[in-house]
Copies of this chain bind each other. A is one copy, B any other.
Amino acid sequence: MQLSARELAAFLQGTVEGDPNVKVSRPSKIEEGGEGTISFLGNMKYEAYAYTTTASVLLVSNDFQPAKPVNPTLIRVPDVYAAVAQLLEQFGQQAPTTATISEAASIHPDANIGEGVSVAAMAVIEEGAQIGNGSIIMGQVYVGKDVKLGENVKLHPGVRILAGCEVGDNCIIHANTVIGSDGFGFAPQEDGSYKKVTHVGNVVIEQNVEIGACTTIDRATMGSTIIREGVKLDNLVQIGHNVEVGAHTVIAAQAGVAGSTKIGKHCRIGGQVGFVGHVQIADGTQIQAQSGVAGSVDEPNQALFGSPAIGYRDYIRSYAVFKQLPELYKKLRRLEKKLEDQ
């Protein structure tokens, strides 16, 4: 797709300064640039690059006043970041592929495939599975027995949706993620061995959820492990059996939530955070990366840090002293000495 500066300005509702006929085919970072690309200056920290970039078109703010000559054609807009998001969406749009069911997929005759669904090579769709209209099942995906997928779901290569699990409309699940593995439940026996607890529940993922690559969500012992509407999970996240993650909560990579914990809405969980099982986390809680949450959080909108996690500011203050502990220890010894000498 090639677009002229004039066409782009019209699309972004901006104004052109320079040659309106120059054409670009993809976005670039301002420090990389390149002919035929459109770049942007969103943060004045990067202003120096505006005077050296080799991009053909540069998106700037309406109030940008160049201190030196700039080479690219400028497009001025009121909000650079909003325009960039629009641009990325535009360039990221793929040509609408015709929905096709690959002959190299294995689809059970009693699966229920909606209209406009694509199923790619080496995918397996089991008996009783339902796939909503417009969904895209990429290569080597597994859709288990009686799974229900909503409309416009996109499953990237190697995703496994195991028997009986449900995925809502417009969900995106990235490659090699596993939905519906058995929970980690074992009954200790008298001889020191463990007996598997059968898991008869499932996983329910509501609509507009996005889940990263190589993430694992365990099915409930009974009932459902639930991922509410609009939740975003990053890569390599672990969600235990019977967990519930509240609407529009965001969990960064490599975080883990142990069984039966219930996380509220609009929480923001950092990378590599761990939660013990059977606790409740209030809405709007923010947890700093690598923290370990060992108890319930009752009051909403708190920020936590540390392992075990305490108030964010408290941790920062204590850690500031921690760094001085050797010095503090020496001071204490000096005081002891002084007092003994008295």
A:109-154 near B, CB below 8 Å? 120-122, 124, 126, 138-140, 142, 144
Residues of B with C-beta under 8 A to A265: 192
A:154-194 near B, CB below 8 Å? 156-158, 160, 162, 172, 174-176, 178, 181-182, 184, 186-187, 192-194
Q: Please, how many angstroms separate the alpha-carbon atoms of A66 and B68 in the complex?
A: 78
Q: Please, how many angstroms separate the alpha-carbon atoms of A195 and B86 in the complex?
A: 11
Q: Please, how many angstroms separate the alpha-carbon atoms of A65 and B256 in the complex?
A: 39
Count chain A residues whose beta carbon lies closer than 8 angstroms to a beta carbon of B: 104
Mask of A252-290 contacts with B, CB within 8 angstroms, 1/0: 111010100000011000011010100000000000011
A:296-314 near B, CB below 8 Å? 307-308, 310, 314
Which residues of A pack against B, CB within 8 Å? Answer: 26-29, 32, 85, 88-89, 91-92, 102, 104, 106, 120-122, 124, 126, 138-140, 142, 144, 156-158, 160, 162, 172, 174-176, 178, 181-182, 184, 186-187, 192-200, 208, 210, 212-216, 218, 221-223, 230, 232, 234-236, 238, 240, 248, 250, 252-254, 256, 258, 265-266, 271-272, 274, 276, 289-290, 292, 307-308, 310, 314, 317-326, 328-329, 331-332, 335-336, 338-339, 342
